[in-house]
Amino acid sequence: NPRGAESSQGGLRVVRGGSWLEDAIGCRSVFRYWFNPYLQLNDLGFRVARRLYNP
């Protein structure tokens, strides 16, 4: 589907995981949040990760 998956949440977007502001349950990577795509939060973003080079 070139338009993307159908949404049953009326245009909301899902965010995975939590932040330092959450309790132990909310910090798990399996935890999900629903947000308006135009909402801006200071603790919402992404983490850049890279595999360590092992010579």
> What is residue 29's predicted lDDT score, i.e. its pLDDT?
78
> What is residue 7's predicted lDDT score, i.e. its pLDDT?
56
Residue for token pair 């159908």: 6
Q: Which residues are within 8 A (CB) of 9 and not within 5 positions of it... i.e. 6 or more apart?
A: 34
Residue numbers in the chain where pLDDT is lower than 50? none
Ranges of beta strands (E only) in 1-55 are 13-16, 32-35
Residue 27, amino acid:
C
> What is residue 32's predicted lDDT score, i.e. its pLDDT?
85
Distance, in Å, from the CA atom of 4 to the CA atom of 33, rounded to the nearest integer, reads: 19
CA atoms lying within 13 Å on the CB side of residue 35: 15
> What is residue 2's predicted lDDT score, i.e. its pLDDT?
63
Q: Locate the domains of the chain by residue range.
A: 10-38
